[in-house]
Amino acid sequence: MERSPKVPNNQSPGKSERDLIASCPGIQAVEARSIYPHATEEFPLLQVNNRYCSGTLALQGAQILSFKPRDRADLLWVSPRAVFENGQTLRGGIPVCLPWFGVNRRDPDKPRHGLARTIRWALEQAITNDSGETRLKLALRQFAQTPHPLFEHCFEATLTITFSAALVIQLQVKNCSELPMPLSWALHSYHPVSRLDKVFVTGLDQVEYLDNTRELERFTQSGDPRFDGEFDRVYLGVGKQQVIRGEPEIHISADNAPSAIVWNPGARLAANMADLGEENYQAFICLERGAAFDDEQIIESGGVMRATVTIAPAAGQSSR
């Protein structure tokens, strides 16, 4: 597990957050142990239940843990060994990786995947609109004036999540510094699969990728990615939509997210991961959208990066 340097991180919902939750139909604040019995300490979650879907969100990291369209399978996966502990990474759902993704190529000694996923975000908006959709807005504003110890630029980020027939995630990152700010990021989504040996991903054929199992050597994808052993690729300059062809079938589309990261650890690596285990690696794949490595984005002083990722079930998919 990676732990960030200590920063102010009050985990308890404040009064304004409690008022927002109380005023929004279909939202409930709960502790992780009420859903995940192996959780061992106080770890606040929000539960969403509306006419379209149910869902779960951790306030730490603004990390979505569950999205289950009505009468459908959950489209997200959480490890049975996931650690629910303040300041620790949580294996599953959709970790928000920023302001860098993967290994920091300017300073490889820094923690992988940035700092946002282990920090408490603030709930700023909770609305159920007239059509019954639930919209939550969470913000990371702690570093707008004073930078985090691991990142020299001042910045702020918001994540606006709409729980409907599809899960729509809007990420906004503002450069509050005087100099241009490099940004790489990903919504590191874990998706369930019933048969890892049968699942494949469409929308990536003939796309260039960096292979993290071969020291980021560059290749071009031939055919649809399939899984046999460790798989860890960053696809560059991808098209808008990819589809996980399996059970469940999952459609993922994005705007201003030029990378697609596809990952499964395989048996050997999973066996050495305490929060995963060899017995669980066949239950999921990660298909993440973002801007990683060669697709890094540069935000000018005062500028804002905006991106949207949508996760949806296949139309007409069988109910479960």
* Chain position carrying tokens 């939750």: 21
Distance CA 129, CA 162 (A): 10
Q: Which residues pair with 56 in a beta bridge?
A: 47, 66
The answer to whether residue 7 is domain-embedded is no
The answer to whether residue 1 is domain-embedded is no
What predicted TM-score, i.e. pTM, was given to this entire model?
A: 0.94
The answer to whether residue 89 is domain-embedded is yes
Q: Tokens in use for 120? A: 């408490």
What residue type is 122 in one-letter code? A
Residue 260 host element (H or E): strand 259-264
Distance CA 174, CA 154 (A): 9
Distance CA 170, CA 101 (A): 18
Count CB neighbours of 125 within 10 A. 13
Count CB neighbours of 313 within 10 A. 22
What residue type is 24 in one-letter code? C
Residues constituting the chain: 320
Q: What is the CATH number of the domain that holds 221?
A: 2.70.98.10
What residue type is 263 in one-letter code? W
3 DSSP assignment: B
The answer to whether residue 5 is domain-embedded is no
Contact 58, 43 (CB under 8 A): yes
What residue type is 10 in one-letter code? N
Contact 285, 188 (CB under 8 A): no
In this structure, the strands spanning 96-97 and 27-31 are unpaired
Digit-by-digit pLDDT tens for the chain (320 residues) are: 333 333 444 466 777 999 999 999 999 999 999 999 888 778 999 999 999 999 999 999 999 999 999 999 999 999 999 999 999 999 999 999 999 999 998 999 999 999 999 999 999 999 999 999 999 999 999 999 999 999 999 999 999 999 999 999 999 999 999 999 999 999 999 999 999 999 999 999 999 999 999 999 999 999 999 999 999 999 999 999 999 999 999 999 999 999 999 999 999 999 999 999 999 999 999 999 999 999 999 999 999 999 999 999 998 655 44
The answer to whether residue 318 is domain-embedded is no
Distance CA 102, CA 288 (A): 12
The answer to whether residue 9 is domain-embedded is no
Give a three-class secondary structure readout of 156-172.
EEEEEEEECCCEEEEEE
The answer to whether residue 319 is domain-embedded is no
Q: What's the number of domains the chain is made of?
A: 1
Contact 162, 308 (CB under 8 A): no
Distance CA 215, CA 200 (A): 23
- Domain that includes residue 218, residue range: 15-313
